[in-house]
Amino acid sequence: MPIKLAFLWTDILIYCLLLVVGLYIWRARSKAHLAAPWRKVARRPMAMASAVVLFAFLAIGLLDSIHFREALPNQKPGAATEYSLEVISPLDRILKPLRTQTEKTYSAPLAIQLYAMESMEQPDGRTLRGHPRLKHGGAHLGQDSEHRHNDVLRLVAQGTLIALLIWCALLIAIGQRVTWRALLHGETELPWRTILFTVSVLLWIACVLWLLAPKYHVLGTDKVGQDVLYLSLKSIRTGLVIGTLTTLIMLPFALWLGVMAGYFKGWVDDVIQYVYTTLNAIPDVLLIAAAVLMMQVYMDINKDAFASITERADFRLLFLCLILGITSWTGLCRLLRGETLKLTEVDYVQAAQAFGVSHWKIMSRHILPNVMHIVLITVTLQFSSLVLAEAVLAYVGVGVDPTMHSWGNMINSARLELAREPIVWWPLAAAFVFMFALVLAANLFADAVRDAFDPRSE
């Protein structure tokens, strides 16, 4: 085989989470009371624009969540196939020019020369100070560097034309489902005008980058010459894993402990309150730092347990999600406890208790369905805070593995470069823009979910 699949724990959990979401969507389509709030979300223009942006991030993250090893070249006939130790993903295959075309050190966005001046030996033997040409950035221009601006404008124009053609094809496909008059005046059930505008912006960015990135370093390069655009795109998976898997780990603790505390009351409530009050009394950063350092000692002692650097970094990412989940369930647990205390006093719950219905059936059939709106609202709102938490933890040195691509590691490595002269600003700016886009889209979508699912919003 030309490739050998490498199964990482986070990859498996991501696709398990997708399966759960798919089952929920299938069930919600057949249940009117579950589908009605999502129809409200779908009618809000800002929510659908955010959903398009989140879908783009999700698509990139999923492309980076299938890992494999490539077969080494020049295999001996009849011998067992040998595979590379490097673990890559389909996203790495797509972005191969960005991944392999590394420079010596920093270069500014769309530049064809190094950012720092160096001593260059001239053909006549003299040594002059100047900015050497990049090995890959703008190499197709040869010595004709004066036409760089015209070449960039030409590629942008070509990308714009391709994006326009794709957008027109999408417009024609949508026009077969809704009338042009309704689409023009915004009289459709879904806000197609907003969706099409958001798609057009993303299409334009994608097409322009698709043409520019193989020939220029669009967002520049970092200290070791890696393309910043490649690092930013690879960091999307880390942000999504932190935001989603942490929620998956946190939910069982918050859901069942919160419902049990509010339903059983008495000593059960006292014990659960004592547990989450104690956890809240410990600063999150100190608890996370202690757990990560303990895990790091285990990894250093058991180096043979990991077949590659990627598996080692993935194990640390999974452990970080576990620690974040354990330390972030207390807020939702408190909310569910309060809501359950209120629900235990309603007539249908008391009637079920009077008829001798088991506690398990009462909690699963009467309590859980009526607190799920709080769960959905909290999960969507907490996603953004978890993405930002990764950057904060990387800044203090207890985040993901330094070899793993993440916006937190980009910010942490770029902060020292802000003090140099001339200032190196583009790694920090790229991480900020990508993180800002993801967090803003998640917050806007979460606001729409909160308004649709919260009964008090009526």
When pLDDT is averaged across residues 38-66 and rounded to a whole number, the result is: 91
368 contacts 252 by C-beta, under 8 angstroms: no
Domains located in the chain, CATH noted: 236-457 (1.10.3720.10)
**Average pLDDT for the chain:** 84
| pTM for the structure as a whole | 0.88
Please report the DSSP string for 175-244 in residue order: HTTS-HHHHHHT-SSS-HHHHHHHHHHHHHHHHHHHHHTTTS-TT-B-TT--BHHHHHHHHHHHHHHHHH
109 contacts 426 by C-beta, under 8 angstroms: yes
149 CB-contact burial (10 Å; exposed 0-12 / middle 13-18 / buried 19+): exposed
pLDDT at site 115: 83
pLDDT at site 276: 86
Q: Which of 99-103, 243-247, 281-285 has the lowest mean pLDDT?
A: 281-285
Q: If we measure between CA atoms, which residue out of 327, 333, 335, 319 comes closest to residue 279? A: 327
d(CA 286, CA 302): 24
d(CA 415, CA 392): 13
Q: How confident is the model at residue 60 (pLDDT cuts 50, 70, 90)?
A: very high
Residue 67 pairs in a beta bridge with 6
d(CA 113, CA 130): 9
d(CA 183, CA 164): 18
User: Which residue matches tokens 């009117």?
Assistant: 32
When pLDDT is averaged across residues 85-90 and rounded to a whole number, the result is: 86
pLDDT at site 458: 53
Please report the DSSP string for 123-168 in residue order: TTS-EEEE-PBPSSTTGGGTT-GGGHHHHHHHHHHHHHHHHHHHHH
Q: Is the predicted pLDDT of residue 181 greater than 80, yes or no?
A: no
